[in-house]
Chains A and B, each alone.
Chain A
Amino acid sequence: MVESGGWCESRLVDAGTVKIVFCGLGVEQRIDKCVLPNGLVVLGEPMPGVESVAFEFLLPGGAAWMPPGYGGAANVISEWVFRGAGKWNSRQLGDALDGLGVQRSSSIGSAHIYLGGALESSNLAPALALYADVILEPHLTDEQFEPARQLIVEELQSMDDEPRQKVMIELRKRFYPDPLGRSNMGELDELQSLTAPKVRELVGAYRDVQQTILAIAGKYDFEAVCRQIESVFGPHQPQPLSAIGLGAKGPAYTHIPNEGAQVHIGLMTPTARFAEEAYYNARTAVSVLSGGMSARLFTEVREKRGLCYAIGARYHSLREAAGIACYAGTSPDKAQETYDVILAEFHRLAEGISAEEMVRAQIGLKSSVILQSESSSSRASAIGSDHYMLGRVRALDEIKRKIEATSVESVLGFLRRNPFREFTVVTVGPREIRT
């Protein structure tokens, strides 16, 4: 037991696994961690009272790691590997996953291909076995390549009809130094030039067990998971990836014409990275700006002026760089005013923050950390991401304490040392704006 408000961290080493028990404020949280002899990291967080389990494999080879000319290849791979693996053809594999009731999720990040699932916990072992087949023994047949590639082409082309999503994809592409912000859907010409042999070669090159992370949350037997993963993932064959070289950022302003009903405005400005000491000050600043309906952007843009329905800013971080990304959608005749008001709010932030705003920002952040911790899928993603970004998993209590440690002075100090100078702006719609 620890005293109320106290803090402890204990490590129990058992058969090669480490159980890290965090306890503070009367809440105990356990993180299981095991580095298999082949280097694969397995992380787990047991959640008492749930019958489900969620898991996520973080595989090296995200959008930023694709070689030049291979934009969209990671997405094609994530589609292609499910089209037959191990002893299963495409149909049998789909049927087997459905038979286990797996809620599938695949996505492509800057650094990783994420393959995940959520299901009732008693089916975890057979589900992991199917995912191991997908990762280690995909058939990658010529016959299945074309529909896999074509589906990603279709997905990319559909973005032209979704300006709200398109503006943020184009924004991220220009904000981060190339290749960090590359779109997971790639570029049409590059997608069209991909061939089965070229992409097959990539799959081999990026299959690096040592850089693979498996994160699990919910109801599971950690020893059994580690044994199973070790038996199927086998010995390590290093496939060292060369470091990515960072290129230039995109232009400060880009307008993409679209004869739609609104101008969709995206803007992004640099801030502290996830791994930096100043991270919590950056998060709190974003919360003051856009943490809730009483926050500044919603109040000034929507409540007082009625300029927008959708308006908000979010913190976004990669390991290498981070930014505050803001979106607003508004009618063409209000687009300039909307942009001007948003920009003024960014600049006004460093001028002062009231004690009440600070309290609301902190409570909002702490509350969302706890509310998200009830979902097994959120926790699996969070522990995998923490490990990749920081090399360790943060306890919920640590996050709470660090949010509480921020103050008006610390946030203003951070903002004054790091003023918002540089904005990347993209608009999609019938009218340009002046930036």
Chain B
Amino acid sequence: MEFKHKTLANGLVLIGEVNPPAKSAAVGYFVRTGARDETLDVNGVSHFLEHMLFKGTDRLQASQVNEAFDSRGAQFNAFTSEEQTVYYASVLPEYLQDITALWGELMRPALREDDFTVEKNVIKEEIAMYQDTPTFDVIDRCRSLHFGTHPCGHSVLGTVESIDGLTAAQMRAYFARRYAPNNLVVACAGSFDWDRFCGVVEAAAGAWPRQEVGRSLSDFQGTMQKARADKANLKREHICLMHTGVSAQDPRRYAAALLGMIVGDDYGSRFYWDLVDKALAEEASMHFGPMDGTGLFYCYLRCATRNAPRVLSIVDGILRDLVRAGIAEDELVKAKNKVLSALVLKNELPMGRLGDLGSNWMYLGEYRSIEQEVDAVKAVTTDEVNRLIHEIHLDRYTQYTLGPAVSA
């Protein structure tokens, strides 16, 4: 695999990892903007804007956009997080130039008033759908509780009220501030011709003017509060715990990923043996979530209401035990094997590779080969994980529970 890199005069970065034997190519436009870059009066605008990019440009209607993707057999989508908006597609190599050009064109959307009005309903339906998905809802609520007034606590979807109140003019102003070429990375992985790829992106984006764009980066240790909300239609307890983590730029991120696996992987973790294996909780997981300049760990637990006190007490015991005694050497070996296996499998697909390629550049401004990632995981020591456990105070966390009404 060969890494390629180019920066245009306006600051737009192009990166690629060329893998000629691949059967496909994956392309992504990574925009460094998300809910944390919003003010509360326009909360949800990053995500709504992501929807509006599919509505076309001055030249293209929404139906023509959809037809253009589908007529090339592209598997395409986009997502918005607290700090990224990513547009991506997986295609057969012969269609890569067309799809790259199409995304480039869509990055300068028309943002028409009538499209905005119809799409507002779709956004509100998406909010309603996630309200009916407690696994998602509880993590979203816990994030807000954990980050308090820090912008990383902003909801990606926004609320029905903030979406109702949003105007197309506000969205245009946000777009103008955030979709600057120097706030974007265009990445490609798989079987493709680098020079032709660069030509296509330059033709689409070379004339976009560079502008001042930034993000307030501040670390945050979490509010460590506890809250619970009732929902009449729920039958189970959905519990989210959030810990302080380390950032995507922090060298300790590999130790953090391994710690998440040791504590809360689907199989074989401490949570698994003490909670899932004993059928006290149906799901008990812990994940590391590195972010720009900050980071977190989040645990998700699902169990019967009658088991919730016991489950929480066991979780607390596991975390305190780790602070007291640390991890065992063989736990780290198993966690490494699982992380490395997942890394190999994911990176065999151009679409899997694209995510790491783009994210590494967004956060680190550098290319990391699969071999470098493998070596970094292998190099983590038990001491490093144990030090991290103390540094992040693994026994201190924010807690949010969503469950059925409990009689006193």
Binding site for B on A (CB under 8 A): 48-52, 83, 90-91, 94-95, 97-104, 118-120, 146-148, 150-151, 153-155, 157-158, 160-164, 258-262, 264, 291-295, 298-299, 302-310, 329-331, 356, 359-360, 363-364, 366-368, 370-371, 373-377
Contact = CB atoms under 8 A, between A and B. Distances in A.
Contact of A259 (B129, B232, B273, B279): B232
Contacts of A162: 133-135
Contacts of A101: 337-338, 340-341
Contacts of B66: 292-294, 298-299, 303
A360 B64 CA distance: 12
B23 interface: yes
Contacts of A364: 70, 73
Nearest to A429: B132
B90 A371 contact: yes
Given A102-B341, A150-B279, A306-B119, 8 more contacts: A97-B267, A99-B333, A104-B266, A120-B344, A154-B281, A154-B304, A294-B71, A309-B125
22 contacts: A99-B337, A100-B337, A102-B341, A103-B338, A118-B341, A120-B341, A154-B279, A155-B282, A160-B235, A161-B233, A258-B233, A306-B121, A308-B122, A309-B125, A329-B128, A331-B128, A356-B67, A360-B67, A364-B73, A374-B348, A374-B350, A376-B348
Interface in B233-283: 233-236, 238, 266-268, 272-273, 276-279, 281-283
Nearest to A329: B129
Given A50-B348, A103-B345, A367 B122 contact: no
Given A147-B278, A262-B132, A161 B125 contact: no
B280 to A, nearest CB: 9
A370 B22 CA distance: 11
B294 interface: no
A50 to B, nearest CB: 5
A370 B334 contact: no
A146 B278 CA distance: 9
B73 A262 contact: no
B54 interface: yes
Interface string B62-77: 1100110111111100
A157 B236 contact: yes
A3 B302 CA distance: 58
A367 B91 contact: yes
Nearest to A93: B268
Nearest to A305: B118
A158 B302 contact: yes
B230 to A, nearest CB: 12
B235 A161 contact: yes
B342 interface: yes
Given A104-B267, A157-B304, A306-B118, A260 B273 contact: no
B204 interface: no
Interface in B381-399: none
Contacts of A119: 341
A258 B404 CA distance: 13
B92 A261 contact: no
A295 B70 contact: yes
A99 to B, nearest CB: 6
A378 B357 CA distance: 23
Nearest to A330: B125
A253 B168 CA distance: 41
A158 B307 CA distance: 14
B334 A98 contact: yes
Contact of A261 (B118, B132, B268, B350): B132
A158 B236 contact: yes
A160 B282 CA distance: 14
B131 interface: yes
Contacts of B120: 306
A104 B233 CA distance: 33
Given A154-B303, A154-B304, A374-B349, A293 B71 contact: no
Given A91-B273, A161-B134, A260-B132, A294 B344 contact: no
Given A261-B132, A366-B73, A154 B90 contact: no
A294 B54 CA distance: 11
Contacts of B23: 370-371, 373-374
Top 6 closest A-B pairs, CB basis? Answer: A367-B73, A101-B341, A306-B121, A101-B337, A150-B279, A294-B66
Contact of B92 (A95, A151, A161, A367): A367
A148 to B, nearest CB: 8
Nearest to A163: B132
Contacts of A259: 232-233
A91 B66 CA distance: 51
A377 B131 CA distance: 32
A299 B266 CA distance: 38
Contacts of B273: 91, 94
Residue with the highest number of chain A CB atoms closer than 10 Å, among B75, B119, B345: B345
B223 interface: no
Contacts of A49: 21
A302 B122 contact: yes
Contacts of A294: 63, 66-67, 69-71
A359 B304 CA distance: 50
B125 A308 contact: yes
B24 interface: yes
B233 A52 contact: no
A310 B77 CA distance: 13
Contacts of B366: none
Contacts of B281: 154
Contact of A164 (B62, B129, B234, B330): B129
Interface string B163-206: 00000000000000000000000000000000000000000000
Contacts of B321: none
B229 to A, nearest CB: 14
B125 A367 contact: no
Interface in B290-327: 302-304
Given A91-B273, A293-B66, A306-B121, A103 B132 contact: no
Nearest to A331: B128
B126 interface: yes
Nearest to A377: B345
Nearest to B303: A154
A264 B330 CA distance: 46
B276 A375 contact: no
A169 B297 CA distance: 33
B81 to A, nearest CB: 18
Contacts of A371: 23-24, 75, 90, 92
Residue among A90, A104, A154 facing the most chain B CB atoms (10 A cut-off): A154
Given A157-B304, A298-B66, A261 B341 contact: no
Contacts of B235: 157-158, 160-161
Given A306-B119, A309-B125, A98 B338 contact: yes
Nearest to A366: B73
A94 B274 CA distance: 13
B394 to A, nearest CB: 21
